[in-house]
Amino acid sequence: MKLIFLGPPGAGKGTISQRITEDLGVVQISTGDLLREAVKAGSELGKQAKGYMDAGELVPDQLVIDLLKERIAKPDCEEGFILDGFPRTIPQAEALDQAGVKVDRVVNFVLEDQLIIRRLSGRRIDKVTGKIYNVNPEGEPQPPAGTPAEALLQRDDDKPEAIANRLVVYRQQTEPLIAFYKGKGILADINAGQDLEGIVRDAENAIRS
Ligand code: AP5
Ligand code: MG
């Protein structure tokens, strides 16, 4: 099964991927996570990507396309994958087609800007496991009771200026993919403004239908 999770920053693509990959027997491929690993490792790619990421801009297509192709060629992708945050532009989607990747379903996470900003400002990541949490009172999932603040990190691009730019970039460069995949008849919208259980249910229904 080859799936794409599409949607604005903070809509829950990563959180839902972490919840359902095991059930579906597929792996999660987050280009954002791969790029953050490259930055952390100080590789040539990481050096090229960092400035774009911190400003909330997209990393140039060719860098991300090469990274993605290398990742999906690995053996753990044979049973299928969720592309979380790729493609983000029409040229990226065309590159996927040209690479012969036949996508079964595109799940489009729909969420209003006010909730996006709220969720991103409360997001925290476990430094060791990479698990995504939210420290807002209504956020899900909450970090386990007793987790010290030092065990969690806040992403560099979850600062107000970068968040605002990520939303603009999403509308301009990524939203056109909704029409692109609607045209192929494989897009399913889901309401990302519900609680996690509701979204997991709707996402699994969309994938299995
Ligand atoms: P990336 O890491 O992909 O970031 P993003 O698309 O901005 O999306 P996020 O990861 O911020 O949001 P999400 O939808 O995964 O939300 P999450 O599940 O964490 O990309 C980062 C950067 O890398 C880009 O800006 C770009 O520079 C570069 N990049 C990456 N891919 C690229 C590409 N293909 N081309 C070019 N550049 C690329 O949830 C958010 C928060 O909400 C969490 O705290 C979570 O706990 C909470 N939450 C989730 N669901 C709920 C709920 N139902 N109720 C309450 N709280 C919830
Ligand atoms: Mg994510």
Q: What is the CATH number of the domain that holds 16?
A: 3.40.50.300
CA-86 nearest atom, ligand 1:
34
The pLDDT of residue 209 is 86
* Residue 65 within a domain: no
Q: How many domains does the chain have?
A: 1
Report if residue 194 sits inside a domain.
Answer: yes
| Six token digits for residue 112 | 């209003």
Q: Is 29:86 a contact under the CB 8 Å cutoff? A: yes
Residue 35 lies in a domain: no
Q: Which pLDDT does position 37 carry in this prediction?
A: 95
CA 148 – CA 183 distance, rounded (Å): 47
Asked whether residue 186 is domain-assigned, the answer is yes
Supply the range of the domain harboring residue 100. 2-26+79-208
Q: Torsion angle of alpha carbons 127, 39, 30, 100, nearest 10°?
A: -160
What's the order of all strands across the beta sheet hosting 152-153?
Answer: 132-134, 123-126, 152-153
Residue 196 lies in a domain: yes
> Is 190 part of any domain?
yes
Pocket of ligand 1 (CB under 6 A): 7, 9-15, 30-32, 35, 52-53, 56-59, 64, 85-86, 88, 92, 119, 122-123, 132-134, 139-140, 157, 166, 195-196, 199
pLDDT at 35: 97
What pTM, to 2 d.p., does this model score?
0.97
User: Is residue 152 one of the residues assigned to a domain?
Assistant: yes
Residue 7 lies in a domain: yes
The pLDDT averaged over each successive group of 10 residues in the chain (209 residues) is 97 97 96 96 97 96 97 96 98 97 98 96 96 97 96 94 96 98 98 97 95
